[in-house]
Amino acid sequence: MNFTARKRAQQNGRRRRALELAALAAAWLLCSLAAEAAPSTCARELGKTDITLIKSALHLRGLEHAPGDQQCAAYRQHVVTVGKVREVFERCLSGAGRDVDLQQLAGALDNANGVIARVCDQ
């Protein structure tokens, strides 16, 4: 290996170590920030409820051609899910967006309860 190639290899090694140290420092900084700035309880709950609500709606869509008893069970579970989501929204949201979200949830509850009343054995 000639002098120029060795010098280039040493420089590349130094750069690699510097990048590794910078990456390590950045990772440490991000971890320490995340530990100090943990999301509030409401932020976590809102994220979970959004996911739960989406899963419930997708589950209903997937049962479109299922037997009636399976659909009824899914709609009843959807009513429970939407009720829990509403509790979180009432507690954790504020402002005009809160009212819109709560109205949408009320509509979802009305729709699900309407299907249950029309289709399911009470």
Model pTM? 0.62
Q: Are 76 and 110 in contact (CB under 8 A)?
A: no
Residue bearing tokens 């809160």:
98
The token duo for 44 is: 């976590």
Distance CA 118, CA 108 (A): 15
Q: Average pLDDT in the 25-41 region?
A: 44
Residue 83 sits at φ, ψ, to 5 deg, of -60, -40
> Which SS3 state, helix, strand or coil, does residue 89 take?
helix
Give the mean pLDDT of the chain: 75
Query: Residue 43 pLDDT more than 80?
Result: yes
CA distance to 60, 61, 99, 115, 122, per residue, from 54 (Å): 10, 11, 19, 19, 26
Q: How many CB atoms lie within 10 A of CB 58?
A: 10
With vertex at residue 54, the alpha carbon angle to CA 93 and CA 38, rounded to the nearest 5 degrees, is: 50
Query: Residue 27 pLDDT more than 70?
Result: no
| Tens-digit pLDDT profile for residues 53-106 | 889 888 888 888 888 888 899 999 999 999 999 999 998 988 888 888 899 889
Residue type, 97: G
Distance CA 55, CA 48 (A): 11
